[in-house]
Amino acid sequence: MYKLDTSFSLVVATDQNRGIGKNGDLPWRLKKDMQYFKDITTNTVDRQKQNAVIMGRTTWDSIPTKFRPLPNRHNIVLTRNKDFDLNSSQTTSANSIDSALTIAKELNAENVYIIGGGNIYNQCIDMMNCKKIYITEVDNSFECDTFFPEFKSTFQLIKSSEIINEGNDQYQFNVYERININ
């Protein structure tokens, strides 16, 4: 279990069945959701600092090359491949969640966000340092092969946006916070 005091949040978009991906890609394209994701993961109180985003290698690979690394954030990619070439000063590789969180702490990241994929979310959801989930809940069902873990028994809804209509989809931005059990 992770021992440092670095807290982090998960950022994800899911369909009605908690589906998050198909064949290593998003099953939808929602412009306002992409903007929400960018705003959450880039905004800092201290303009001298950056946030860190931690992702698995499949998530990294799913980002179009022209958008890698995600700008104005330090990208930390989890991979078991020691020779994985990230080719950027804004990107670091790590071989475990613990080492990724240690890197984020050493970088003095203002906030740390886990941005996928499914295996990474499954590893992180039960860690006590996972304090919040920023989730776009899409009111539709898609064909998915990757799913977000169940979380509503240990997190409570603290903030909800208006329902957003985009194309044939309706969705809402929700923020959940870990329920403290003392």
The pLDDT of residue 181 is: 66
- Stretch among 62-71, 84-93, 167-176 having the lowest mean pLDDT: 84-93
Q: How far apart are alpha carbons 119 and 117 in whole angstroms?
A: 6
Give Cα 27 to chain centroid, integer Å.
Answer: 16
The pLDDT of residue 5 is: 72
pLDDT tens track for 120-158: 999 999 999 999 999 999 999 999 999 999 999 999 999
Q: How far apart are alpha carbons 121 and 12 in whole angstroms?
A: 9
The pLDDT of residue 2 is: 40
The pLDDT of residue 109 is: 96
> Does residue 89 carry a pLDDT above 90?
no
> Does residue 173 carry a pLDDT above 70?
yes
pLDDT tens track for 42-63: 999 999 999 999 999 999 999 9
Q: Which of 133, 113, 14 is nearest to 54 (CA)?
A: 113
> Does residue 8 carry a pLDDT above 60?
yes
Residue 12, SS3 per DSSP: strand
The pLDDT of residue 21 is: 95
Segment 10-19 mean pLDDT: 98
The pLDDT of residue 81 is: 84
In this structure, the strands spanning 73-78 and 91-94 are parallel
Q: Could you tell me the domains of the chain? A: 8-178 (3.40.430.10)
